[in-house]
Structure 1
Amino acid sequence: MLFSELKCKQVINLKDCKCLGRVIDLEFEECSGQICKIIVSNNNRLCSWFNNEPEFIICFKDIKKIGPDIIIVDIGH
């Protein structure tokens, strides 16, 4: 899967079925090349320009399923 395909997917939290936003970036381990975390921003881009709060940072172990349209995660937010 290409990053361009991954960043088009919405991220849904399994705990409360809320949409957290879309993938905007990845963090990976330099030596192994494995993805460690995904960084998700909410859908409201205008607010993100003025908002200094960080995006959701989700550990790769918390990703439960990557489907054709969405990514399901299990986080306690």
Structure 2
Amino acid sequence: MTFCELKQKDVINICDGRRLGKPIDLALNDSACVSALIVPGPSSFLGCFKPDREGLSIPWEHIRRIGDDVILVELDANFGQ
């Protein structure tokens, strides 16, 4: 699977059903293996519709399944806060 294919999929948190957005980047470790999936960060009130530039980094071990249309991740309610 290529990143072009991956970034077309919605990322869904299976703990609360929340849609986190589509992947915008990947983080690689020193061995050039994917270590995290980056999705847009939450918009702030002052940033109105402008997502956090850093994005939300989802560690690869939290990704449960990559399907045809979605990427399922398991994140607790406090993740990224």
Identical residues among aligned pairs (%): 35
TM normalised by structure 1 equals 0.82
Query: In the TM superposition, what are the counterparts of 1:1-77 in structure 2 within 5 Å?
Result: 1-30=1-30, 32-41=31-40, 47-48=49-50, 51-52=51-52, 54-77=54-77
Deviation at 1:75, TM superposition (A): 0.6
Q: How many residues align?
A: 72
TM normalised by structure 2 equals 0.78
Q: Pick the structure with more helix per residue.
A: 1
Deviation readout 1:32-66 (Å, 9 max, x if unpaired): 22100110016x8x712xx5474221000000000
Task: Structure 1: state its 5+ residue gaps.
Answer: none
Q: Pick the structure with more strand per residue.
A: 1
